[in-house]
């Protein structure tokens, strides 16, 4: 695999990252993940805007956002990818020695980019997935796409180890989001999802869903899905860049409805793929 690191396209085995990179020592960095449809980067500007927001929120002085598109496409060419792919962008604060919590504003950020083929998710999209519920123990700035993901990693690992696709997180009685997805419920033909706040990520796919609902007269409500009422909702689905619109048909050991993707979830899927084809 050929990846990009600080101005060079290199085989990954030849990329050297300093042990004093603050991303390595402190998880001091941000990232973005995006994908293509028909080999065209999807919602690129929205992803770059979010990456810029994240870097600004933690005071990383990175300014080369306009180069990222070309870097991603060049990575795909060098890796001879002939199908749709995902792209990962990571910006760390950079290298500083000795190891101290304090950082200088003069540190030069490190940029790492790689691409990889997308997995076939047809089964999950068509048949739906199961999720588990886990307490949300992440920090309180989940609106920042930080590389400090240990709580997400542990929750998702536990979910997959128990045979589920995703861990859906809750604080007190309120569902926030998944470990790497946004979470939606359907009740009485209305779609419900957590309001934007510092406790959830402003998902790019999430924002598309809001626009599609407005354009198609589907009521969508920003309010917390309640943990103690979770089985009073009619349908659920997850959203994300590679998750797309994935129905949830089982929570823990309990089926949602008849165990099949719901009617409104199917409608949202259809509208989403129509949107993709136009963009």
Give 3-state DSSP helix, strand, coil % of the chain, rounded to 5: 30, 30, 35
C-beta separation of 169 from 176 below 8 A: yes
C-beta atoms surrounding 139 within 10 Å: 11
Q: How confident is the model at residue 279, as a pLDDT? A: 87
CATH architecture of 122-278: Alpha-Beta Barrel (3.20)
* Structure confidence at residue 46 (pLDDT): 98
Please report the pLDDT score of residue 77 as a whole number: 97
Which pLDDT score is estimated for 212?
98
As given in the structure block, the two tokens for residue 206 are 């999430």
Measured CA to CA, the distance from residue 6 to residue 55 in angstroms comes to: 17
CB neighbours (10 Å) of residue 165?
21
**What topology is assigned to 2-117 in CATH?**
D-amino Acid Aminotransferase; Chain A, domain 1 (3.30.470)
Both tokens of 118, joined, read: 């997308």
pLDDT recorded at residue 204: 98
Query: For the stretch 192-205, what's the b/e string if a residue is b when 16 or more beta carbons lie within 10 angstroms of its beta carbon?
Result: bbbeeeebbbbbbb
What does the block give as tokens for 131?
């999720």
Local confidence pLDDT in tens for the 279 residues of the chain: 999 999 999 999 999 999 999 999 999 999 999 999 999 999 999 999 999 999 999 999 999 999 999 999 999 999 999 999 999 999 999 999 999 999 999 999 999 999 999 999 999 999 999 999 999 999 999 999 999 999 999 999 999 999 999 999 999 999 999 999 999 999 999 999 999 999 999 999 999 999 999 999 999 999 999 999 999 999 999 999 999 999 999 999 999 999 999 999 999 999 999 999 998
d(CA 79, CA 86) in angstroms, rounded, equals 12
**Predicted pLDDT at 251:** 98
**231 in the Ramachandran plot: left (φ > 0), alpha (ψ -120 to 50) or beta?**
alpha
Cβ(40)–Cβ(59) under 8 Å? no
Domain ranges of the chain: 2-117, 122-278
Distance in Å from the first CA to the final CA of the chain: 29
| Residues marked as catalytic | 145
Q: Using an 8 Å Cβ cutoff, are 60 and 109 in contact?
A: yes
């Amino acid at each position: 695999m050929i990846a990009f690191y600080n101005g060079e396209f290199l085989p990954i085995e030849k990329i050297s990252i300093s042990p004093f990179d603050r991303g390595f020592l402190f998880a001091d960095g941000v990232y973005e993940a995006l994908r293509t449809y028909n080999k065209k980067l999807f919602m690129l500007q929205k992803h770059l805007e979010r990456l810029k927001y994240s870097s600004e929120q933690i005071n990383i002085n990175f300014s080369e956002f306009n180069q990222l598109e070309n870097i991603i496409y060049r990575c795909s060419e060098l890796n001879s990818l002939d199908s749709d792919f995902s792209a990962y962008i990571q910006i760390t604060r950079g290298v500083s020695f000795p190891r101290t919590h304090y950082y200088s504003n003069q540190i030069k950020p490190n940029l790492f980019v790689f691409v990889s083929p997308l997995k076939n998710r047809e089964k999950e999209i068509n048949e739906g997935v199961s999720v588990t519920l886990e307490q949300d123990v992440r920090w309180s700035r989940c609106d920042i796409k930080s590389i400090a993901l240990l709580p997400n990693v542990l929750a998702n690992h536990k979910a997959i180890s128990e045979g589920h696709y995703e861990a859906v997180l809750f604080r007190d009685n309120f569902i926030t989001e998944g470990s790497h997805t946004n979470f939606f419920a359907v009740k009485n033909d209305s779609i419900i999802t957590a309001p934007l706040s510092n406790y959830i990520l402003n998902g790019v796919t999430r924002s598309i869903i809001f626009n599609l609902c407005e354009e198609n007269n589907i009521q969508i409500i920003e309010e917390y899905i309640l943990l103690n009422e979770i089985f009073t909702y009619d349908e659920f689905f997850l959203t994300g860049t590679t998750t797309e619109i994935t129905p949830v048909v089982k929570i823990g050991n309990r089926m949602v409805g008849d165990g099949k993707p719901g009617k409104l979830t199917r409608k949202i899927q259809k509208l989403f793929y129509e949107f993709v084809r136009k963009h």
